């Protein structure tokens, strides 16, 4: 796919990405200020009531403003404030949304608004998918990670005590509104964590975007609006192109998990919450890039070095941590096998055929072991 | 839609209804004995494991036989036995299915088999829709009601303390196997309750089928296999024709609720469980037929009299009960308004434009009140 000229794309105040999924198509609007919301309102689903679903962190910051923006469109607006955190992404918390809907007598013309990060988006989406077998919902992601990743693709879920995201639905929002003003309250490490997923889209799909990121990474960390808008738009476009071709995750979509097999092992191995997801993915992408070289796809380590430099400039870790003092390599392999649900045999990784093009490939442990053995011993 | 000749349809040993829903199409097979299951096996979804979901009543009767029929097709077969009854159609019981799947390490290639009545079908379907965002499932309905009604249409759900079927999904099975041998253990009143939904398909869609039922109602109650097979097949065909045209219940599908607005009021008014659903629908259809006459669609009460006679021959009640000693009419109206989620104004009923053709129509309370006032005072 060809790159987009940053000059052209930065000109308009509001960016618009169309997610083409037939009758389930929807727009993503990216921008800030009154003009963003004027456009957004034109896409609000019709309904007899609205329910804002948010959490205790986001509610005091943005719930009132959203409520005012909904007022002209829905006769009744309610709000449910969930506890904040991945540990609440469970049935009990989901049920608070159903309790609110039923308590307010909401019918099938209720519209849900997910105001928050990925957890709020996932839970609100699954509630919308299931309430009376499906009501419309709108994503208003307030973290960079949610804006570039979890609000596109229609994956909704809650966790089960025996596994993450085990219970859910493929269910598309009617509209996604990425208001970059909401990023101003995001802690810097969370902004960096979001940048990891932004950077990911370069090696898997679009090296011109990667080059643009190399030039603008400082602007992004400084929250320069035009730069943010372009980065979010291009990320959504790439994710959309991949997801449109594979809505229910049969194959192609796997390339979006570049760096995630190593990353998930880091998250699980360090104990959930110790490493931010985006940080683990950053270190994981470095490993996946090295593996691509070991497999003979990349001729040398020049791309890995570019990747390391950009990740560092984005404030992200590039070294994988030791997750077990005695048997670090074996533990990584165990966790990666669990992540991939491989019963045995070679694990399937997302690797780079070349910079800008990812593929999946089964790789023998013997090829991966040297990378894992080097953890904690090699400096970059 | 034209009727089907009973002579032609009774000839083959196994009936086959194709539910056309594009890539979500699936077959319903109706019959009994080894030949039914030989055909069914050709349609089993491929998978790495199977989970039979059943209940404490059905498990001792049919679980072992189903397990044997699956053995050649799935390397691993597990079973989860749920408590029996509508009161268990909740999240807690649903979670037993997820616990079983995750406890056995089931992946996205697990196949669920719903072995039981409507509650088992609804819960297994919703579990299949939600587990890892969707795994295949097969319906093996063991009640007449489930065979002719709940196993066709893709509606799955659980109850919430504040409302029935409030949380669910539209999700299609890959195959429905109606084994009429399983009806032999069904209590006679349950068989009659299933016949209420069978009879319903006549007035709403196909009066030739109604005439066939008038001739064969005794055979059906005696469980004559060819008669059962034809009744189930024609019921599924009609439901399929209606559902195919309106998969997610936007309008046309409402005609399937003929008799249900009155019927739901009876069920709720008498206390859930006091009247079987099919019994309440039978009495409700009589009211809906009378209402069609009051609205001027039916020229006289001759069709209502035919309907009453057939329902009685099927062992079904035709008189609506008084649900409130003091204010019976007002209570009916209240409950029908709740059922239809009408905030106020006229309630929408399914009525007969003519025998064999149903429509929905808003009807002023003033028109309905004489029918309700007559309850307990008029004998048929």
Residue B163: which of A102, A129, A167 has the nearest Cβ? A102
Residue A128 to residue A108: CA distance in whole angstroms: 10
pLDDT of residue B344: 65
Residue A114 to residue A154: CA distance in whole angstroms: 13
Task: Please answer yes or no on whether B163 and A103 come within 8 Å at the CB atom.
Answer: no
pLDDT of residue A378: 55
Say yes or no to pLDDT of A356 above 80.
Answer: yes
Task: Please answer yes or no on whether B133 and A160 come within 8 Å at the CB atom.
Answer: no
pLDDT of residue B249: 59
The catalytically annotated residue of B197, B237, B254, B267 is: B197
pLDDT of residue B253: 86
Determine the distance in angstroms separating the CA of B321 from the nearest CA of chain A, rounded to an integer.
28
pLDDT of residue B342: 62
b/e map A219-255, b = 16+ CB within 10 Å:
bbbebbbbbbbbbbbbbbbbbbbbbbeebebeebbbb
Say yes or no to pLDDT of A341 above 60.
Answer: yes
Residue B121, marked binder: yes
Task: Please answer yes or no on whether B99 and A162 come within 8 Å at the CB atom.
Answer: yes
- When the pLDDT of each residue in chain A is averaged and rounded to a whole number, the result is 92
pLDDT category at A81 given cuts 50, 70, 90 is very high
Q: Does B98 touch chain A (CB under 8 A)?
A: yes
Cα angle for residues B267, B268, B272 (degrees, 5° grid) = 70
- Is the CA virtual torsion A299, A304, A309, A314 positive or negative? positive
Instruction: Report the pLDDT averaged over residues A50-61.
Output: 98
Burial class (CB in 10 A: 0-12, 13-18, 19+), A28: buried
Contact predicate A236/A17, CB 8 Å: yes
Instruction: Report the pLDDT averaged over residues A122-135.
Output: 97
Task: Please answer yes or no on whether A99 and B162 come within 8 Å at the CB atom.
Answer: yes
Residue B255, marked binder: no
Task: Please answer yes or no on whether B169 and A129 come within 8 Å at the CB atom.
Answer: yes
pLDDT category at A379 given cuts 50, 70, 90 is low
Own/partner long-range contacts of B372-376 (Cβ < 8 Å, ≥24 apart): B372/B328, B372/B329, B372/B332, B372/B333, B373/B329, B375/B319, B375/B320, B375/B321, B375/B322, B375/B328, B375/B329, B375/B332, B376/B321, B376/B322, B376/B328
Say yes or no to pLDDT of A6 above 60.
Answer: no
Question: Considering only CB atoms, which chain A residues are within 8 Å of B129?
Answer: 169
Comparing alpha-carbon positions, the chain A residue that sits nearest to B166 is: A132
CATH of A6-184, one of 3.90.1170.30, 3.90.79.10, 3.20.190.10, 3.40.50.1970: 3.40.50.1970
Task: Please answer yes or no on whether A160 and B107 come within 8 Å at the CB atom.
Answer: no
Residues of A tagged active-site:
133, 155, 197, 239, 249, 253, 257, 260, 264, 277
pLDDT category at A318 given cuts 50, 70, 90 is very high
* Domain segments of chain B as ranges: 6-185, 188-373
pLDDT category at A247 given cuts 50, 70, 90 is low
Residue A95 to residue B92: CA distance in whole angstroms: 12
Active site residue B277: yes
Residue A349, marked binder: no
Task: Please answer yes or no on whether B134 and A107 come within 8 Å at the CB atom.
Answer: no
pLDDT of residue A153: 84
pLDDT of residue A151: 75
Structure tokens at B148: 């002719």
Determine the distance in angstroms separating the CA of B324 from the nearest CA of chain A, rounded to an integer.
25
pLDDT of residue B252: 81
Is A6-184's fold the same as A188-373's? no
Residue B130: which of A99, A162, A169 has the nearest Cβ? A169
pLDDT tens digits, A189-215: 999 999 999 999 999 999 999 999 999
pLDDT of residue B272: 78
Residue A164, marked binder: yes
Q: For residue B199, what are the contacts with CB-CB under 8 A and spacing of at least 6?
A: B210, B213, B282, B285, B307, B310, B311, B314
Active site residue B260: yes
pLDDT of residue A215: 98
Task: Please answer yes or no on whether A166 and B107 come within 8 Å at the CB atom.
Answer: no
Question: Considering only CB atoms, which chain A residues are within 8 Å of B48?
Answer: none
pLDDT of residue A39: 95
Q: How far is CA A168 from CA A24, A245, B82, in A?
A: 18, 21, 22
pLDDT of residue B376: 87
Q: Does B232 touch chain A (CB under 8 A)?
A: no
CA B58 from centre of chain: 18
Question: Considering only CB atoms, which chain A residues are within 8 Å of B169?
Answer: 129-130, 133-134, 169
Instruction: Report the pLDDT averaged over residues A355-374.
Output: 95
Q: Does B65 touch chain A (CB under 8 A)?
A: no
Q: Does A338 touch chain B (CB under 8 A)?
A: no
Structure tokens at A34: 């009154």
Q: How many CB pairs under 8 A join A and B?
A: 63
pLDDT of residue A338: 78
| CATH fold group of domain B6-185 | Rossmann fold (3.40.50)
| CATH fold group of domain B188-373 | Dehydroquinate synthase-like, alpha domain (1.20.1090)
Least confident of A250-264, A277-291, B97-111, B254-268: A250-264
pLDDT of residue B343: 58
Q: Does B134 touch chain A (CB under 8 A)?
A: yes
Nearest to B259 by CA among B323, B309, B320: B320
Residue A107: which of B95, B170, B341 has the nearest Cβ? B341
- Is the CA virtual torsion A275, A279, A280, A283 positive or negative? negative
- The dihedrals phi and psi of B134, each to the nearest 5 degrees, come to 130, 115
* pLDDT tens-digit profile, chain B (380 residues): 344 444 444 445 899 999 888 889 999 999 999 999 999 999 999 999 999 999 999 999 999 999 999 999 999 999 999 999 989 999 999 999 999 999 999 999 999 999 999 999 999 999 999 999 999 999 999 999 999 987 788 999 999 988 889 999 999 999 999 999 999 999 999 999 999 999 999 999 999 999 999 999 999 999 999 999 999 999 999 998 888 776 555 678 899 999 999 999 999 999 878 999 999 999 999 999 999 999 999 999 999 999 999 999 999 999 999 999 999 999 999 999 877 666 567 899 999 999 999 999 999 999 999 999 999 875 55
pLDDT of residue B248: 59
Task: Please answer yes or no on whether B107 and A341 come within 8 Å at the CB atom.
Answer: yes
pLDDT of residue A312: 98
Structure tokens at B192: 């009659």
The catalytically annotated residue of B174, B230, B234, B264 is: B264
Which of helix, strand or coil describes residue B8? helix
């Amino acid at each position: 796919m060809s790159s987009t000229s940053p000059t052209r794309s930065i000109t308009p105040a509001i960016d618009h990405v169309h997610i083409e999924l037939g009758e389930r198509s929807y727009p993503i609007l990216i921008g800030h200020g009154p003009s963003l919301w004027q456009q957004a309102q034109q896409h609000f689903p019709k309904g007899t009531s609205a329910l804002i679903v948010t959490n205790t962190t986001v509610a005091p910051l943005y719930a009132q403003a959203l409520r005012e923006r909904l007022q002209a469109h829905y006769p009744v607006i309610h709000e449910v404030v969930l506890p904040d955190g991945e540990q609440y992404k469970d049935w009990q918390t989901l049920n608070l949304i159903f309790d609110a809907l039923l308590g307010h007598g909401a019918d099938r013309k209720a519209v849900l608004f997910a105001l928050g990060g990925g957890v709020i988006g996932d839970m609100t989406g699954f509630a919308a998918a299931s309430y009376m077998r499906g009501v419309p919902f709108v994503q208003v992601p307030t973290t960079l990670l949610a804006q570039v990743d979890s609000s596109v693709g229609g994956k909704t879920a809650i966790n089960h005590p025996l596994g993450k995201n085990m219970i859910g639905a493929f269910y598309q929002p009617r509209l996604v509104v990425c208001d970059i003003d909401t990023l101003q309250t995001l802690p810097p490490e969370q902004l960096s964590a979001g940048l990891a997923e932004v950077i990911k889209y370069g090696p898997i799909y679009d090296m011109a975007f990667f080059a643009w990121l190399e030039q603008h990474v400082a602007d992004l960390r400084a929250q320069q609006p035009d730069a943010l808008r372009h980065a979010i738009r291009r990320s959504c476009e790439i994710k959309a192109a991949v997801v449109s071709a594979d809505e229910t995750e049969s194959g192609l979509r796997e390339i979006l998990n570049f760096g995630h097999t190593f990353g998930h092992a880091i998250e699980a191995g360090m104990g959930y919450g110790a490493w931010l997801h985006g940080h683990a993915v950053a270190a994981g992408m470095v490993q996946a890039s090295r593996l691509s070289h070991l497999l003979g796809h990349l001729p040398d380590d020049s791309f890995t070095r570019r990747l390391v430099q950009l990740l560092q400039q984005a404030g992200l870790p590039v070294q994988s941590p030791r997750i077990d003092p005695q048997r670090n390599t074996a533990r990584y392999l165990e966790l990666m096998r669990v992540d991939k649900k491989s019963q045995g045999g070679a694990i399937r990784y997302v690797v780079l055929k070349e910079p800008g093009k990812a593929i999946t490939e089964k790789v023998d442990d013997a090829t991966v072991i040297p990378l894992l053995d080097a953890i904690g011993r090699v400096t970059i």
